Structure 1
Amino acid sequence: MRHHRPFTYIRFYRAPTFTHWLKIKAALISARLFGYWDYPRADAAAAFEEWTLTDLAYSLYKNARPIIRAEKRVSKVLFLRDKSVVKLPDEFRKNTSVTIGAAGDLMPAEGLEFSKDIFFENIADVLLEVDISFANLEGPVTEQNVEVAIVEGSKAPILGFSIAQFPTVAGHRGKYFTALSITVAVLL
């Protein structure tokens, strides 16, 4: 089986107007050229209903280019490969320790099942080689056909992982998350 990175929602996004599309495209190109979304946006809207045009562009950008850096204010020492970043004072004796790895907002994407051995490649050691690891799936796992719905204007995308995609997000090369939570939105 040939492995590759999955397609992202930017491929399926349909802007409501040409002007809207042009603004989104300009934001994506400038973000890539100048790197201003290589770090997380602290002011990004979390709820879909609160999104601005910038939030939509940011979401499309980070779906295509996952952000693997912390906010600029966060100390780099937290991301060293040393599993004992927090040190006890010298006079304390360590009896036991627990290491934790966590990931959030794992998004379904077309072709995800073909990236099984590369999806967590650069972070598997800090994410899965720990005592307890967990991640949040942004959609249910289903046996039903998963079709990519067109994302238009203010409509939220319909998300879901296929059975074939699940092994890709469940772990990496024989190491698996201890727990996976599933975020499910109820559409009324």
Structure 2
Amino acid sequence: MTSKLPATPAEALQISVPPLRLVVRAVTGLADRLGFWRAPLAGAAAASDEMTTLDTLYWVQKSRAPVTQPGADVPDMRADPVALPEGFVPDTRVTLAAAGDILRSRGIDGSKDVVFARIADVLFDADLSIANFESPITTQPLVEEVIGDKGPPLECCDRAQFDILKGHGGRRFDVLNTANNHRFDMGLEGIETTSRVLAEEGILEIGTNASPDQQGCGWVIERDGLRIGLVSDTFGLNGHKLPADEGWRINVSALSPKRGDPDLSSLKRQIDDCRAKGCDFILATVHWGWEFEMFPRAGQVAAARELAEYGADSIVSHHPHVIQPVETYRTARDPDRVAVIAYSLGSLTWGFTAPHIVLSTVLNMTLTKGRVGGETRTYLERLSVTPVFRTHVEEDGVALTRIEKLADHADAADSPLDQDHVAQVAAHADRVLGPGWRTQGG
């Protein structure tokens, strides 16, 4: 039986001012009938502290009916096959799996060793598994997510809920990014409790700094002699302000400004630091973009490519709560180097059931270190993109969240899932990724 969860944030919207409810109803009704906002609204805000009433209305509408067309100025984002350059002699291979947002939601509490069971092979069999963790762990009373006109929702979880979200069957994420817009939702206690728990679990936390000296530095993790540098930044903190003497704690930059270009200076400093530490491969994790838009904006594409030219060997991104394209970008700095740019991996866990929101992707990459032209280099040898989607069901009176591979259920006569719903999920995957995912496999 399907668990009773709202389909979209718009369905769960709580508005305290009656006239505003009428405005929201009128504007969304007009948008449905007239078809505006199917393409991105020019000049729209991404950060909550830059939003006007128009931005808020646009956000509500696209949460229920996502923007499915790219802006007219967005360049082509190629997704060519990845291969090692000719003459490359491989030495060491390391596999990496990357996923998007992990948020606590209703239906999680009873889902230990259930939520990731069907995707554990693509997510946890890799040498290195990474995701964006967006519900700070807290010892304070838990706050329920409320989406409404009183400000951005608060996210949080307790230690028991984190034990469900951290992995499957004894395997867990190796790296969790915590530079995101919900990082300061539970204040300094939430920052410190999360960092302490991740350290106890042996999970590398990136994006939140352990001391003032860490600010501007990257993180390094080694597998089989291959040194991987990690850099991280977020576009904002939902209007929350760190105390003046605590600003070093979270990497925050104007990455998705309403006006002007993204500020990449923090990410570039971290890339410089990873280079200085002798990293073989540098992965940028970036929390940015416009929610519920299925294609990045032109300025974001330009900024991602600038990072790739500066030294990010691949980029994984999150925040929009929907998937966006995965580009394979051949750099000018090294014509043999193809940087994967995943503009949004979507939300792996969250408490909404609409087809565009339950869909996310798991990215699998093989990093190979070897020699070519007499020099040691590390390149991408393989890339696969696995669309996955959440199901929310009730079994024996317990609400469960389970993530499925989309290829196992799309056009599958023996699937027990609602095929109309699955077809809508698959249509979004086709639109963003192209139809190749249906035969690629994990």
TM-score, normalised to structure 1, is 0.61
Partner Cα separation in structure 2 for residue 27 and residue 168 of structure 1: 42
When residues 133 and 149 of structure 1 are mapped into structure 2, their CA distance, relative to the original with a 3 A threshold, is closer
When residues 155 and 120 of structure 1 are mapped into structure 2, their CA distance, relative to the original with a 3 A threshold, is same
> How far 1:121 sits from its partner (Å)?
4.7
> How far 1:155 sits from its partner (Å)?
0.3
**Does the CA contact (< 8 Å) of 2:142 and 2:158 recur in 1?**
yes
Aligned to 2:137: 141
Q: 2:153 aligns with which of 152, 157, 173?
A: 157
Cα displacement string for residues 32-56 of structure 1 (whole angstroms, at most 9, x for unaligned residues): xxxx7xxxxxx98542234522324
> How far 1:161 sits from its partner (Å)?
1.2
> How far 1:135 sits from its partner (Å)?
1.6
**Does the CA contact (< 8 Å) of 1:113 and 1:166 recur in 2?**
no
Aligned to 1:54: 58
> How far 1:95 sits from its partner (Å)?
0.6
Aligned to 2:124: 128
SS at 1:102 equivalent? strand
Aligned to 1:22: 25
Partner Cα separation in structure 2 for residue 48 and residue 151 of structure 1: 13
Partner Cα separation in structure 2 for residue 123 and residue 129 of structure 1: 10
> How far 1:149 sits from its partner (Å)?
4.7
Name which of structure 1's ranges 95-104 and 145-154 shifts more when overlaid on structure 2. 145-154
Aligned to 2:177: 181
SS at 2:25 equivalent? helix
1:91 aligns with 2:95: no
Q: 1:104 aligns with which of 100, 104, 110?
A: 100
Amino acid at match of 1:13: L
Partner Cα separation in structure 2 for residue 61 and residue 124 of structure 1: 31
Amino acid at match of 1:91: G
SS at 1:95 equivalent? strand
Partner Cα separation in structure 1 for residue 151 and residue 83 of structure 2: 47
> How far 1:105 sits from its partner (Å)?
2.8
**Does the CA contact (< 8 Å) of 1:5 and 1:114 recur in 2?**
no
Aligned to 1:66: none
Considering Cα pairs closer than 8 Å and 6+ residues apart, tell me whether 1 or 2 has the greater RCO: 1
Amino acid at match of 2:84: L
Partner Cα separation in structure 2 for residue 56 and residue 25 of structure 1: 8
Partner Cα separation in structure 2 for residue 28 and residue 12 of structure 1: 19
> How far 1:13 sits from its partner (Å)?
2.5
> How far 1:27 sits from its partner (Å)?
9.3
Aligned to 2:269: none
When residues 94 and 131 of structure 1 are mapped into structure 2, their CA distance, relative to the original with a 3 A threshold, is same
**Does the CA contact (< 8 Å) of 1:27 and 1:54 recur in 2?**
no
Partner Cα separation in structure 2 for residue 55 and residue 150 of structure 1: 15
Amino acid at match of 1:134: I
Cα displacement string for residues 92-141 of structure 1 (whole angstroms, at most 9, x for unaligned residues): 22111122222233223233222334433554333322111122211311
Partner Cα separation in structure 1 for residue 13 and residue 145 of structure 2: 9
Cα displacement string for residues 162-184 of structure 1 (whole angstroms, at most 9, x for unaligned residues): 22211232113332100223341
SS at 1:49 equivalent? helix
Question: Aligned residue pairs: how many?
Answer: 164
Amino acid at match of 1:19: L
**Does the CA contact (< 8 Å) of 1:27 and 1:57 recur in 2?**
no
Identity %: 29
Amino acid at match of 2:141: N
Partner Cα separation in structure 1 for residue 120 and residue 30 of structure 2: 31
Partner Cα separation in structure 1 for residue 113 and residue 32 of structure 2: 29
Cα displacement string for residues 40-94 of structure 1 (whole angstroms, at most 9, x for unaligned residues): xxx98542234522324444778xxxxxxxxxx65666xxxxxxx6321352221
**Does the CA contact (< 8 Å) of 1:5 and 1:112 recur in 2?**
no
- In structure 1, the gaps of 5 or more residues are 31-35, 37-42, 63-72, 78-84
